[in-house]
Structure 1
Amino acid sequence: MIWRLCVSGSDQEDQTAANNGGDRVFISAFFVGIAAISFGLGAFVVLAEVPPYQSMKNAWRAGTALWEQRTKYTDVERLDFWAEARTDQTGVTIHDVNRAQNGLTLYSSGDGPHAVLIDMDGNIVHEWRMPFSMIHDETSPIPNPQKDDFMHWHTAKMAPDGGLIVQYTAAGDTPYGYGMAKIDQNSNPVWKYLGTAHHDFSIADDGRVYALTQEFRFNTYANRKQLTPPRLDDFAVILSPEGKEIKKVSILDALINSSYANMVDFAPYFANEDILHTNTIQLIDADTAKNFAYGKEGDVVVSFRDLGIIAVLDMDVEKIVWATRGSWLGQHDPDVLPNGDILLFDNQGQLADPDAGQSRVLQIDPETNAITWQYKGTATHKFDSNIRADQQRLPNGNTLITESSGGRLFEVTPTGDIVWEFHNPIRRDDPDNPDKKLIPVVSQAERITDARAALYRDTVPASNTGDAQ
C-alpha cells in the first residue's frame, strides 16, 4: 500500500493504461469466444436439424430475401421483365396476307399492368390499363405490395363476353402472384380475386375460371423428407363467373397421393422450396376430351417446369391421374389439341444447334411422346426464350408463337414459314450499359378470330378456315 502511494503520477497513468488494455483484450477475447461458441452451436443445430433449426433457417431465409429485395430490385429496368433488345425493328415486320390467320392479337407486356389489342398491321385497336393499387385491399394476403411499376400482367385473356381477365405478377416478392381481376372495355374492375394467383388460367365457356395460386406451407410428408418446410406450394382453384372461389385443390397433395408420386424424387436440388413451379393450367372441355385418352371433361392439364412433367389433375377426386416426361426442358403451356396431341413450348430443349437458339415448339403424341410436328429456329431466325412463352394453334392450322425473352410474336405455317411477325415497340435504355436497349418481355398472347373481335372493331374478321390439328 505504501509503495502504491509513492508511485508517481505518470507511473499511475501507465499502470491504469496497462490495466485498461488488459481489460479490452479480455473483453474482446470473451466476445470472440461467445461468437465462436454461438457459431459452433448454430452449425450443430443446422447440420443436425435439431430445434430451433427450422426457426433459424426461416429467419435466415427471410433476412436474405429482404436484403435482396432492398438491394437488387431498385430499378424497373433491372427486373427480369426486361431483356436486351435483339433488334431495332418494331411493330409488324412480316405479314403474308394470303397465308396468315386474320384476326386481332392480344398481348400483355412486361413494362406494366396493361394489355394491347392490335390488328394484323400492328395498329393498336384497344388498350387496357389497371394498376394493382386500384384493387388491393385489406383482404389481400399481400399486406405491403410492391409498387405498381414493379408489376405486370403475366397473362391477359379475353372472356367469352369480351371482357378482359388478367393476372398480376410482381418482382422481388414471394409469393410473386398477386391475384386476378376482370375488367371491362374501359379498364374498370368488374370483379377481383386477391388470392395469390400466378402464371396462367383457363376460362370455361360458362365464364368459370380455372387458375393457379401459391402459398407457403409448413406440412411434411412421411416418405418425402426432402420436401422440407416452408415450401411455396401450388393450388388449382375454380372461380365462379363472378370471381368467387368455389374449389381449391393442393396440386402437391394430388401428386403425392397418386401413383406418380415418385416423380417428385427427381426434382433438381434447387427446386425443393418451389417443388412444382406449376406454370400452366388448361381446362379439358367436352370437345377436347373426345380424342384425349388421359383426361375427362372438367379435368385440367398442368405443367411442372423444373420436374419436366406434364400431368392431368382430376379436380373431382383431387388426384393426378396421368403424367409424362419427355425430351423437353423448362416447358410451358401444354395445350391438348382437337386430335388428342399436345402442343407445348419447349424453352430449353433444343440442344443440337445452338446458333438456332435453345427453344422449340413441339407437338407430341401423348401415348408415345413421339414428336408429330415441331418448329425450331435457324441461324437467320434464331428462336430463344429461356423462361415464360407460349403458343396457340390457329383455326387455319398455323401456330402463333410468343417468344417472351425476345419480346416477339410470330406466326408459322405447318411447314415452318414465318407469315406474320411483331416486335414489342417499347424500348428503354439499359441502366448498366447506355449503349444497349432493353425490351419488355411478352409473356403471353392470343389471336382473337371469333365474334369477340366485333366488339372492338366494326366487322368480324374473315377467318381463314382449314382442318387444324
Structure 2
Amino acid sequence: MKLSYLANALYVLAVLFLAFAAGIAVSLTQVWPFPLFHDAYKAGMAEWSQSQTAVNPLATDLWRRARTNARGVTVHDAAKMQPGYTLFTSGDGNVARLIDADGRVVHEWKMPFSRVWTKNAAVQHPQKDDLIYMRRAKLLPNGHLLAIYISGNDTPWGYGLVELDADSHIVWRYLAHVHHDLDVTNDGCIVTLTHDFTDQPLSGYGFVPTPYLEDFLVTLSPNGKQLSKLSLTRMLARSPYGISLRRGEPWFADFDPLHVNTVDWLGPNDIKALGFGKPGDVLVMFRQINLLALVDPKAQRIVWAMHGNWLAPHDPHVLANGNILMFDNRGNMKPHNPSRVIEFNPRNDKIVWSYDGSAAQPLDSRIRSTAQRLADGNTLITESDGGRMLEVTKAGQIVWEYVSPIRAGDHHQFIPVLSGGYRIDPASLDPAFRQRLAAREKQIQAHAK
C-alpha cells in the first residue's frame, strides 16, 4: 500500500514537473499555445485593473494628489502676462472651460460621453462618465468646440471626437478610437490620431507581440467625415527610421509600441520657417521611442525624423522662428523636478531655451502636458499632473499661475489633471461669440460687486 501511494505521489510530481518545464519552454520560445495563454493573461489583467478603478475614479490617472493648498489664480502680473482667455480641459468631468485672467469661468462646454456614444461607436462598452474626460479641446472662431474623449480606465482609451456648438449641442461625432491630439488645417479639415488593436504581425519586428495597438493618422472633413486613414505604425516600420522601434524598453513593446501623442499640421509659413518639408506635412511624436517625425500624408511616408535630448515628451510644435517647442516630461533628470519645457533647433539639435522649474516651484508631470509660445514671447505651460497652468517669461519668471480649485477625496487630497491649456486672443473669435463672452464677463463682474 505504502509503495503504491509513493509511486502515485512520484507520478503526480513528475507530471507537475513536466508541465512546469513545458510551460517554461513555451514561454521562452513563444510557440503555440503561448499566444492563447498570453492573450488570456493580458485580458485578465485588464479586467482586474478595470475592476480596481471602476468604483473609484480617484484611482485612475485622471486625478493626482494635490501638492499644495493653492487654488485658482495665484500669480497675476497683468503688465507682463499675455492678455486673453485660457481654454483647458480637466479630469473631473466631460467638460472644457474658458477662463479669464482672474480664473473666472466665462464659458464652458459640457457633454457627457454617454450622450455622445452610439451603438456604432468603436468602443462597444464604454466606461462610466466619471471615468472619461475630454483629453484635448480646440476652440473654433464661431464658439464651436472640437473635443477628444478618452477613458482613464480602458484600452484602447481613445473614445471619439465631437464638435459641439457654443451651447454644447452636438454638431457631429466621429466615434473611432480617437486619442490625444488634433489640429485644424487652413481649409478647416481636422487631422487627428486613432488606434486599434491588431493581430497582424509587424513585418521585420517580431519582438512586437500580437495583439498590439496600431496607430493611425486620420484626416476628417470640416463636418467630421473620414477622408483618409494612414497607419503610422506600418509607415514607420517600412521607413529608414524603423530601427527606432528597437530603441524602446522591452515592456513598451508589449501592446503599445509607439504611443503617438501629437499631431501638428504644417502650413506654408511653418514649412518656410522650418526650412524643410512641404505644406500639408504633419509633425508627430512617437512617445515610446522618443522619436519626432515629419509625415507626408500624400506620399504616405515619413520624410524626416530625429531623436533628441528628451524623454517621453509631448506637444512638439513648430515656432515662427523655425525652432520646435515641446514639453519634455522626463528629460530634466533632476530629483523632484523631472520635467521641463524646451525650445530647440531641429537642424542641429541645439536647445536654445528651457524652463526647468525650480526647487520652490518644481515642474513635474509624468504624462500629458503642453506648452504654447505666446505672441509676446512668453510661454504658457500646462503641468497636467500638478493640476496647474503657468505662464513664464523668457527669463523664467512666472507671471500668471492657475491651480485647479477642484478637489476630491475624504480630505480634499486629490486634484484633477489639466490638459491642453491654450491662450485665446479675443480678436481671433467671431464678433457674435466675442460679444457673448464680453457680456458674460460683465455679469461676473457685476455679481462680484
Residue 269 (structure 2) aligns with = 287
Structure 2 counterpart of 1:119: 100
| TM-superposed deviation, 1:49 | 2.1
Alignment partner of 1:447 out of 396, 411, 423: 423
2:299 is the counterpart of 1:322: no
**Structure 2 unpaired stretches of 5+:** 442-449
Matches of 1:455 and 1:349 in 2, distance apart?
A: 43
**Could you list the per-position Cα deviations for residues 363-413 of structure 1 after superposition, in whole angstroms to 9, with x for gaps in the alignment?**
000011101111111122221111110011111111110011111111111
Task: Indicate yes or no: 2:274 matched with 1:260.
Answer: no
Pairs within 5 Å for 1:173-188: 173-188=154-169
Contact 1:83 1:406 in 2 (8 A): yes
* Alignment check: 8 A CA contact 1:159 1:207 kept: no
Q: Distance in 2 between matches of 1:230 and 1:162?
A: 41
Alignment size in residue pairs: 435
One-letter amino acid matched to 1:380: A
Q: How far apart in 2 are the matches of 1:236 and 1:162?
A: 26
Give distance in 2, aligned partners of 1:393 and 1:418: 14
Q: Which protein shows a greater Rg? A: 1
User: Which amino acid is the alignment partner of residue 243 of structure 1?
Assistant: G
**In the alignment, is residue 438 of structure 1 matched against residue 426 of structure 2?**
no
Q: 2:395 aligns with which of 407, 415, 420?
A: 415
* SS of residue in 1 equivalent to 2:289: coil
Percent identity over the alignment is 40
TM-score, length-scaled by structure 2? 0.91
Distance in 2 of aligned mates of 1:456 and 1:411: 26
Give 1:137's aligned residue: 118
Q: Is the 8 A contact 2:106 2:440 kept in 1?
A: no
Looking at structure 2, the residues matched to 77 and 141 of structure 1 have their Cα atoms a distance apart, in angstroms, of: 26
Q: What letter matches 2:394 in structure 1? A: P
Matches within 5 A, 1:38-437: 38-272=19-253, 273-351=255-333, 353-354=334-335, 357-429=337-409, 434=411, 437=413
Structure-2 residue corresponding to 1:15: none
Q: Distance in 2 between matches of 1:36 and 1:183?
A: 61
Alignment correspondent of 1:14: none
> Match for 2:285: what amino acid?
S
Structure 1 residues 418 and 32, CA gap change in structure 2 (3 angstroms): same
* Aligned residue identity for 2:270: T
**Paired residue for 1:8?**
none
Unaligned runs of 5+ in 1: 1-17, 462-469
Q: Are 2:190 and 2:221, in contact at CA under 8 Å, matched by a contact in 1?
A: yes
Q: Deviations over 1:275-308 (max 9, x none)?
A: 1111111101122111112321111100111211
What code does the residue aligned with 2:350 have? A
RMSD of Structure 2 on Structure 1 (CA) = 2.2
Asked if the contact 1:162/1:455 (under 8 Å) is kept, the reply is: no
Structure-2 change in CA distance of 1:460 and 1:285 (3 Å) = farther
- Confirm or deny: 8 A CA contact 1:451 1:460 kept in the other structure: no
Cα deviation digits, residues 211-249 of structure 1 (max 9, x gap)? 010111122234222122111121100011111111011
Q: Distance in 2 between matches of 1:60 and 1:379?
A: 43
Distance 1:30 1:130 in 2: 63
